[in-house]
Structure formats: C-alpha cells, structure tokens
Structure 1
Amino acid sequence: MSATQLLVLGVVRGFGRTHGYRVRAELLSWGIDDWANVKPGSIYHALRQLAKAGLLTASEIGDWPGRVDYSVTPAGDAEFFRLLVDALERPEHRADMLSAGLALMPALSRGRAVEVLSARLEALEAQRAALRKNAAASHAAGLPPHLGELRAMRTRYADLGVDWTRDLLERVRAGEYEMADEGAEGFGTPGSWRAPVAPPAS
C-alpha cells in the first residue's frame, strides 16, 4: 500500500466518521505538499479503493446528494497499524512512507513506538556496518578512486539515519509527544478529532 492510503486510513480513523473533503483539508493543513507525493485526486481514489477492499465503510448521505461519509472497519484498523508499524520500522521505504508514519506515530502507544523505533535503529546500524565492510572490500579490490565518493555518500546517509533515529527514540522514550495510551482524547484515539467550530456570527 502507499503513503496516501496510510494517511487516508489514519485521518478517517482520527475523525471516526468523515467525508473526502475533510480528509483532504486535514492532510493539506499538515503540509503534505512538501513531504508527500499526495494529490487531491489520489485522496478520493484512495477512499474509494479502501472502501472497495473492506477497510472503510462508505455511507451515502441522503440529505446531501453526492456526499459519502467513511469510517474505518475492524479490518481497516488492523491494516492501519500494520502499515504504520511497517512505515516506521523498515528503513527501506521511500521518504514519503516514513513521513506518513511519522505524521501518524502518536496513534501508537509509547511502549509500541519505542519497540518500533528500536527495531528501526537496529536495522539501520546493521546496514551501516555492512556499508563500511563493503567499502573496505571495494578499496582492497582496487576500484577507480572516484567510486569511493558513492560509498562515502551512502555511509554519510547511513550515519544520518542512525543518529536521527537514535535521537527520536530517546525523545519518545523520555516522554516527548502525547501518545495514544496517554489521554482519552489524544491524537491517536479513534474519533477524537473534531471539525473546527465556526465562530458565532457577529
């Protein structure tokens, strides 16, 4: 599944029951234009596909022709958590999948988030160790010197990934961010989000 589908499942889950326009508005308010390849049309397409797959229920609103409200099914809830954990735990994903996972991370309990980020850190450290080992072997094999820049670049990125993940893990472990198990109406509690209330007319 895509980052779009993870984000859409997460937003519908957050509202409990909502429609496509509100999902789109919520995601745009998060600045997804900057960090995810999500187009407005792909949000509506994801809603329809997730409903077709049985991960969302779709209810037409009789008093509002053309409007369809969505809510997450039990299968959709399980799939949401599977995708969320996978997005955060596995370093192989594209940046938009990791970004979607970070945006929805507070839907996890603190303990689960620590477990997932610890697994990510372990995988990144193993990847970095393998890169360094391969770099030494390539140098010994007498490859052209400029190819060393490729190895240097990948190793720097590996260092960055390890350092950033370790820092995030330490902050989550220390209590930063409100997680799903820390409040009845926290970010990760299904149905806890509410549409903005319009101010009374003056």
Structure 2
Amino acid sequence: MSATRLLVLGVVRGFGRTHGYRVRAELLSWGIDDWANVKPGSIYHALRQLAKDGLLEASEIMDWPGRVDYSVTPEGDEEFFRLLVDALERPERRDDTLRAGLALMPALSRDRAVAALSRRLGVLEAQRAVLLKESGTARAEGLPPHLAELWRMRMRYADLGVEWTRDLLERVSSGEYELAGEDRDPFGAPGSRQALGAPSAH
C-alpha cells in the first residue's frame, strides 16, 4: 500500500474540496519530507490516479484555467478508512505507511483506533513469541557467538515494537488525543478547518 495514496485521500477528505497545491502545502506543513517518501510530483500523480479510480471527483475550475479541485467520493471515503485501519493494524507494512496512519489516526473514532491498535499488538506479540522460540533453538544448536547478535538485535526490535504499541494503545484507550466525533479539527492539528465542510469521520 502506498503511504502517498492514504495521505492524499486523507488531506482531500479533511478539506472537503481542494486542489493539488493546497494538498501539497498541507502535507509539507506536516513535515512529510522528513518521515515519508512522498515527493511533490507523486502527490499530483496520486490525485490524478485516485480520480481515475473513482475515489476522488475532479472538477475543472472554469474561471481558473488549469486548476482542478478534488473531493472524496463515497467509494474514496470507504477506501480511506480501509487504508487507514490497515496501516495501523498490520505491522508488516512499511514504516512510512505506519507513519501516515498515525498522522491520520484522528479521523478514526476512539473505538475503531483502539481495535486497530489492539490487533496490531496481538500480531506483534505472536511474532515475538515465535522469534523467541526460534532464537532459543538456534542457540541450542551451537550458533557461533557473533551470529547470536543477529538474534539479539531482532529480539530488541520485536520488544520495542510490542512496547511502543502497548504504550500507544494504553494512551489512546485512556482518552489521550482528540479523535473523530470529539469536536476537533479534521486533521487533529492546530487551526480549525471545520468550516471547510470535512465529512464526518468513522
């Protein structure tokens, strides 16, 4: 799954109706050049492709030659939430996909965010258990000491994934962060864009 696809759908949905330059400016204001592999050209390509796929509606502005405004279709709204939940609950996704999911998490209801993070935690705990068993077998079979560092490294990463996810889940469950339906800006960021008519979140 492309993090760009999720981010572009999310920003257009947040504004309600907007154009490519505004989408790009909004994403840059989030610092995506530091945490996501999203290039300016890929944003415009994603807008065109999403419109071609029927997930965005494209409208040419007659009074502004060359400008196209976009809004999310019902199918696009459904796809946005599918991608967002998938990004949060599936740990095998790329890091930039998880980061996109975290950036857009305020679009989810608290119950839905908790459910997605709970599933993620369950998968990570199961993966860690398998890794622990495999590393014990490898050591028992006389793995050279320096190669054992590879298993230690993998276990540290597995531990970190479980610990971070559990911590985030606890904070979200306890009411931290403003999520959908809790009287917040559609992007969960300072500066309300409610007047733009952003669709109601799930």
Report the TM-score, using the length of structure 2 for normalisation: 0.92
1:16-27 counterparts in 2 under 5 A? 16-27=16-27
Aligned-pair CA distance for 1:144: 2.2
> 5+ unaligned residues in a row in structure 1: which ranges?
195-202
Q: CA–CA distance in 2 between the matches of 1:19 and 1:187?
A: 17
Q: Over residues 10-68 of structure 1, what are the superposed CA-to-partner deviations in whole Å (9 max), with x where a residue is unaligned?
A: 00000000000000000000000110000000000000000000000000000000000
Q: Is the 8 A contact 1:6 1:83 kept in 2?
A: yes
From the superposition, tell whether residues 135 and 70 of structure 1 become closer, same or farther in structure 2 (CA, over 3 Å): same
Q: CA–CA distance in 1 between the matches of 2:138 and 2:173?
A: 39
Identify the residue that residue 133 of structure 1 maps to in structure 2.
133
Count of aligned pairs between the two proteins: 192
Q: CA–CA distance in 1 between the matches of 2:22 and 2:186?
A: 17
- Aligned Cα root-mean-square deviation (Å): 1.4
Report the TM-score, using the length of structure 1 for normalisation: 0.92
Q: One-letter code of the match for 2:159?
A: D
Aligned-pair CA distance for 1:182: 1.3
1:23-62 counterparts in 2 under 5 A? 23-62=23-62
Of 137-146 and 154-163, deviating more is: 137-146
Q: One-letter code of the match for 2:144?
A: P
> 5+ unaligned residues in a row in structure 2: which ranges?
197-202
Do residues 4 (structure 1) and 4 (structure 2) align?
Answer: yes
3-state SS of paired residue (1:38): coil
1:179-194 counterparts in 2 under 5 A? 179-183=179-183, 185-187=184-186, 192=194, 194=196
Q: Is the 8 A contact 1:6 1:80 kept in 2?
A: yes
Q: CA–CA distance in 2 between the matches of 1:4 and 1:84?
A: 12
**Sequence identity of aligned pairs in percent?**
77
1:147-166 counterparts in 2 under 5 A? 147-166=147-166
